[in-house]
Structure 1
């Protein structure tokens, strides 16, 4: 019954009894793709009053050929750069060379996503309108190449139905959105959709009119809040008394050897990689995902820079710089 209803299966039983009394009720089915490489036989061991059934599959493994993915190209570019360039003793120069190599490899192998403002008609755009726009562009190019009365007439014949289709799709999308409005709909969202549909969506003002002035004000506010004078006088006096003793303890601790004083290892670097989503990168343009996909040469170069920084006891200058963009609070003027 099962074989009559299903076409893509075959029976492996050879006709040998599967029960000690001579019955053949234990049936084994596989798909037809595995039938030619399957072997079926009875094991002499009894499991209850049934014999054990053994099945083997003889599968051939295919040789794996890696596809030409952006990640593979990115790693190969960095491996080639690392093999040709030997890092010197200048920490900042090494970091600059590494950053430039990573960015060049990314530009050659990793496609960039297009970013920018959405088109004003995105809320009703669909395949039907896309096809009409394609036809209009085609006839418009023909008219530009050969500006005749006939080509102009053909262009107008294409534009008129396209406008009718656009009006119809707009109305359908509008009615579809209106049908979703109920007593739980937020007034803000309703007005937002109305402004989008009518093309009156307000543009956002720039976050900072004068970034340098705002940055200086942020620095002044931070310095005022973090100043030592904000601490209670009794705590300030106690810190002053402990300053010499604290410095002595620090000097003693620096001279003591510890297992963490050794250089970083490649295994430690790979385990420390972040698995989280990418955030906005700094001036170097390097994100978490790029660091994770550096490959053998890229990770070796980064490990060299880290151990050099650890050995001389200072960070590269580029790692101590950051871009801070103050975003004004909408309801509190002068605060960010």
Structure 2
């Protein structure tokens, strides 16, 4: 059994070929797709976060709106760039969104992907300490954020406050109990996955790894997952974590499916350079359902994960993306034992 959700980048462009031509379209259609996915029986609605781009950015208003319009589906991010975040303000926003949704938030965070602008986090007021990198700053922000989610008081109360305070040191509010165990780290390497386990976060792994050992992507990702679970056991945490992987999967069941994605039937892994280092990119899965069942059954990382996020082409609109999700749930999931 697997949790199956979608992951949307929330692209928008003022083009006649796009069904998503404005930021308003991207936001409102994201809400509508989450509602549709819940009605279809999917388990999660996840959204990417990119700054300075025509994509979804500040996630918490969207997460809160999805939480208010749905009742069952998990709501998450994949991922929030922690270089840009104020941990205290983020803890308040995350607590609010989680309470609105009734405790359904699954918050994916990370060091972040290559930026649209040079040192964009500095425009948000965040500068690494002397001798530290932007990745160091992201991890520092993350560890502070995790401390805040524990809910312990740390701030000295004003002896003459505007409103009465509870006894002791104060924490940021609102606090949502249980959210700390629903934080995921987007790990791009095996070593980062081990760091994720050491700090008690769930593992989120996408279709990109920032390293290459020459083996197929799914095998390298499966090794990453195993090293994460080994590190989790070694850390002695007293709860079971979750692991998600992302895949682009398109069952070709209509003429429109074939018109849009026939080229992806020949997709393969790719190796390239990202920010000065080797990276391996996973392939897309497109084909007739019987062929996809066979291909996906051989994907070792999908087999090892408990959560599968379907990356959706959001600019094709809500109806088509709901069709893609339904096709996976109907034509693939039962045959693969995911449902």
Computing the radius of gyration from Cα coordinates, the structure with the larger value is 1
Give the TM-score category using the shorter length: under 0.3
TM-score by length of 1: 0.19
Higher helix share: 1
Greater percentage in strand: 2
